[in-house]
Structure 1
């Protein structure tokens, strides 16, 4: 399906030294003895292969190859986000919402300063509070409570790090991996689920009628570079937002993005991963005025599955993004679907051979949304099994209401592996994308 360039070969002795007694060394396929933790990105596999490539922690010595089973072990292995080459292998389920002794924490455990949701709702009800930004005792208590949760679930990932799941069922639950200023990071074969915000903030002026804003992405890249994310599964599994109540006429959201690539991050490849059952999946570029992102945010997304995703698959500002051989599935009855490809300020998306499967109420023109975008290159698109010209249909549908998009994005991708037809990729991604799947 694709070639993997191996870094340093791991001998049996090294594995025994690095792995606690009795632990199994399983790779993506789950085969005993198959270890992927020293794999490096192939020389042609997307933007993360540029300028020296991405090797993660492949050069780690035996003392920095660690298998972790608890949040405490994971925090110690991450070493405060240090740049020391390290390989962290996650076994089983690691829950970030736990104490140092492993006891489970819930939202009540983080609440402090007298925070109470009922009091918060009463204090900032738009009918009495108006449209001003929340302030006062309950907002201060919310902020303090949020800070307590953030301290526990935001995990800093440093440069020269590989994080890999062992076997077919490795899970990191409730955590937000923070790659801030990190270079040369690999995350593979891992399910990241339910980065749940206990303390959303009410923003009265968002969207005209106000909305709830949440804090955590499953993975957040800020000023990060040379990052390879491969065979991961990201979702809200455990606490879907659709099951949350409505306050002030808005869904009480608990999740932000699945993967955000912002603040001049650069040279990223996301491959063979699954983004599932979520509102806002991937944001590339965090603001229309963030002109420092120009020349950066170079990202490749290939052989990924987006299923049950409402929007941002991805939404792009400024970046040169190569989007090929991805599979999009909108489930029947998904009446909250908004769009898949977001074309925003100075974005340059080059989309090739992607397949979309949708129910009958979604049309081709619904797949793209533009905010100040000017260009989208697309070829080889399949829509419910039929070839379509996504750009031409979008322009025809939006003629007179939005600016037409041109096909000239100003660049042509050169770093990529074999690009299959959309139909073939659709079948292969359905079988092979996500954690625990064989590449």
Structure 2
């Protein structure tokens, strides 16, 4: 954990790549849990200097604090050395891992900007199958949960990953309701299978993001992008989806959860493979009762201009930091 400076604003600069396993490979799950952790106190900015600043074998935790910024870092999503088989997770069981690249938990006023999150160099195809399922060591890239509030996720690249971002940890965490106010803006989702984001309870604004993928890709095939879960309240504006094999809105916007635990979403101006997204059509029927309006007036690009803007601007190495 970084030293708590008693509320005094602190800027921590990272030069080059920090390897949290530099003292040797993790010995076991306990060792990994301790040595991989980077815990940020309130009023802290963690920022990379230059295009090569990053973190490997680590996980950033922003928990129970206020006013934290993370910018300009390439974060290699951590690989759990001891994933756990759960025979009750899905009808056929699943491997579950413990660590996210970055976790915002019970924290407020958080800005995640101009970072790159990726499974590379340890992508899922490098791991064996056990119990009939890929022994996947990755969990999320970025999760926002447990009553976190006022979080902005902007100008990041998320690539080569399956379960990308949860907003809200579970259907039973009802204390999340009324919180999880989150904005996703200007992000690139490249070869992401799903959860971009998957929302429960949150009042979430998703605008001018660019989604690029292939539903038949051998590695990280696209399944869906925006997940509308229990009591989700999503306002979507002018996002651009270029997904090979996607034919209709339901291929990119999914009802994530049981039929009895639904959410709401409204969209304006988004495009799927160059044509109107069609939210509200036969394949994409959701409640539009989001129950809130934006408390700010964003400058929104037309969706036809989003691809160029996001590819030019998003990700680590695009900022000039001294």
Give distance in 2, aligned partners of 1:232 and 1:433. Answer: 8
Whether 1:381 and 2:266 are equivalent positions in the alignment is no
Match of 2:243 in 1: 358
Q: Distance in 1 between matches of 2:317 and 2:74?
A: 8
Distance across 2 between alignment mates of 1:184 and 1:352: 27
The gaps in structure 2 that reach 5 residues or longer are none
- The SS at the match of 2:3 is helix
| Structure 2 residue 311 is the aligned partner of structure 1 residue 392 | no
Distance 1:228 1:359, change over 3 A: same
Q: Does 1:85 align with 2:4?
A: no
2:224 matched to which residue of 1?
339
Q: Is the 8 A contact 2:216 2:245 kept in 1?
A: no
Measured against aligned partners, the alpha-carbon deviations of 1:188-208 in whole angstroms (never above 9, x if no partner) come to 111111311111111111102
The runs of at least 4 aligned residues of structure 1 exceeding 6 Å deviation read: none
**CA pair 250-359 structure 1, distance change in 2 beyond 3 A:** same
Q: Counterpart of 1:415?
A: 296
3-state secondary structure, aligned to 1:92? strand
- CA offsets, 1:152-199, max 9 Å, x none? 001111100000000121111111101110110001111111311111
Q: Secondary structure at the match of 2:89?
A: coil
Give the structure-2-normalised TM-score: 0.93
Deviation at 1:332, TM superposition (A): 7.0
Q: Does the 8 Å CA contact 2:274/2:304 hold for their aligned counterparts?
A: yes
Larger Rg: 1
Indicate conservation of the 8 Å contact 1:80/1:156, yes or no: no
Mapping of residues 143-222 of structure 1, within 5 Å: 145-222=28-105
CA contact (8 A) 2:212 2:242 kept: yes
Structure 1 or 2: larger strand share?
2
Alignment match, 1:316: 199
Q: Which of the pair is proportionally richer in helix?
A: 1
Unaligned runs of 5+ in 1: 1-74, 100-104, 111-144, 399-403
Q: Is the 8 A contact 1:307 1:331 kept in 2?
A: no
Output the CA distance in 2 between the equivalents of 1:416 and 1:175.
36
1:236 lines up with 2:119 in the alignment: yes
- Provide the C-alpha distance between the structure 2 equivalents of 1:365 and 1:148, rounded to a whole number of angstroms: 43
**1:408 to partner: Cα distance:** 2.5
Residues 207 and 238, structure 2, Cα contact 8 Å, conserved in 1: yes
Deviation at 1:387, TM superposition (A): 2.0
TM-score by length of 1: 0.69
Whole-angstrom CA distance in 1 between matches of 2:155 and 2:319: 10
Q: How many angstroms apart in 2 are the aligned matches of 1:373 and 1:177?
A: 31
Q: How many residues align?
A: 314
2:164–2:196 CA contact under 8 A, matched in 1: yes
The Cα of 1:416 is off from its aligned counterpart by 4.5
